[in-house]
Amino acid sequence: MRVVYVGGNWDLFHVGHLNLLKYAASLGDFLVVGINTDELTERDKRRPIIPLEQRKAILEAIDCVDFVGVRASFSDNYWYEYFKVDVWVVPPGVWSRERNVIRRKALKEAGLDIQYVVQPRTPGISSTKIREVCCEESLRLGTCRFVTGRVGRVCQGEGRAVDLRGDSVRRGGSDEGGF
């Protein structure tokens, strides 16, 4: 049996996430999906909009997903080792992050010979874009209440940020897109 693993935050689930899961499932016989805790998601990107238990329930309802395991640390290799993962699917840009280089080395040392597959993103959709569109609409309506995890009380959208504690506006980009 060929076991495939894919992990993520899975916040604001969209068709790009679904495409990723279907692609990952097509690479093997059993799909293990790792889902980050709310705390890990906040440390990685920002506070999730959808709480862990709801994100997990969404994933468990998808036919091609065989198992959903929660992870609280990027150094947690439990699910890889428990299921003897054969294939690890990662999105572009994640592959070379230092934590994944360290993880790949640890998995090899644990005797796991894992094939790594980089899956391209679905064009035109990401959780970041969904947040930006929602925030832009809220800004337009004057009802913006979006709060990001690491930045503080700041609403980001289309390359600008508005500090909700005052009236300052700064130019700048947002973080990279999601799955």
pLDDT digit string, tens, across residues 136-171: 776 667 666 554 433 333 444 444 444 433 333 333
Contact 103, 74 (CB under 8 A): yes
Q: Distances in Å between the alpha carbon of 90 and those of 21, 87, 102, 121, 152?
A: 11, 10, 15, 10, 29
Kindly report the number of other CB atoms within 10 A of residue 178's CB atom: 24
What is the domain partition of the chain in residue ranges?
A: 3-118, 127-171
Q: Rg for the chain (alpha carbons), in Å?
A: 18
CA 40 from chain centre, in angstroms, equals: 10
Return the higher-pLDDT residue of 157 and 37.
Answer: 37
Long-range pairs of 98-101 with CB within 8 A, sequence gap ≥ 24: 99/74, 99/75, 100/74
Q: Which superfamily does CATH assign the domain made up of 3-118 to?
A: HUPs (3.40.50.620)
Q: What is the pTM of this model?
A: 0.73
pLDDT digit string, tens, across residues 65-124: 999 999 998 777 888 889 999 999 987 766 566 767 777 788 888 888 889 898 878 888
Local structure of 3: helix, strand or coil: strand
